[in-house]
Structure 1
Amino acid sequence: MERQQLPNSTLILIFGILSIIGCCCYGVLGIIFGIIALVMAKRATEIYNAQPESYTGYQNVKTGKILSIIGLVLSVIYVIFMIIALIIYGGFEGLQEIQEEFVREVQQNQ
């Protein structure tokens, strides 16, 4: 029987890399790509564990999972750092002002 490529193994690796790169975009893209890669890796691991002799590309899944965990951790740390920096720089009043401005913009766009 011919071995086939594990579904989405390359995509999981790419999303893992993008999660590390995305941590530089205020952490939001890193969190998004990291979560997507972890969910896809869990599904691919289940498929592989059911019939390991039928699939190749599991190394990409493992590497992508590790990269997505690293990217997710870096992104969460970056988001926490940005929130702390906003509080220190603008104080709680500045944070409330930013929040009120955001609410006004959302209301105007509706």
Structure 2
Amino acid sequence: MEQQKLPNVTLILVLGIASIILCWCYGILGLILSIIGLVLALNTTKLYNANPNDYTNYSALKTAKLVTIIGLVLNILFLLFMIWFIMWIGWDVIMSQDQELIQERMNELLNQ
């Protein structure tokens, strides 16, 4: 039987790279993309493990999985930072968009 490439490897890599780029969107959009990429990577790994002699690009799959995991970690860290920031500054201050009050809270944060 002729060896073929594993399916979805390019898609997993694109999702991983996009999740790293989009982690600055409050961590949510990138988190969703990295979870989808990780699920696809785990399913493709199962497919490879069932028939390892049928596929050729397992190293590309490992790279794509690593990029997706890095994106997942970055998005979780940024999401936790945003939650901490909102808790510290206060949702009411952020929603009021009062620049002086936000500046005052930021100065309190930096001076402590």
Q: TM-score, normalised by structure 2?
A: 0.77
Matched residue pairs, number?
Answer: 95
Q: Which residue of 1 aligns with 2:102?
A: none
RMSD: 1.8
Q: Which residue of 2 aligns with 1:63?
A: 63
The Cα shift of 1:90 comes to: 2.0
Q: Segments of 4+ in structure 1 off by > 2 A?
A: none
Q: Distance in 1 between matches of 2:3 and 2:49?
A: 14
* Identical-pair percentage: 51
Unaligned ranges ≥5, structure 2: 96-112
Q: Which residue of 1 aligns with 2:42?
A: 42
Written as runs of structure 1 = structure 2, the 5 A alignment for 1:1-110 is 1-90=1-90, 94=92
| Structure 2 counterpart of 1:25, one-letter code | C
The Cα shift of 1:72 comes to: 0.8
Asked whether the 8 Å contact 1:15–1:68 carries over to 2, the reply is: yes
| Structure 1 counterpart of 2:21, one-letter code | I
Query: SS of the residue aligned with 1:74?
Result: helix
Q: TM-score, normalised by structure 1?
A: 0.78
Work out which of the two has the higher radius of gyration on C-alpha atoms and give 1 or 2.
Answer: 2
Q: Distance in 2 between matches of 1:41 and 1:60?
A: 11
CA deviation map 1:32-90 (0-9, x unaligned):
11100110011100110111111122122111111111111111111111111112112
Q: Which residue of 1 aligns with 2:109?
A: none
Unaligned ranges ≥5, structure 1: 99-110
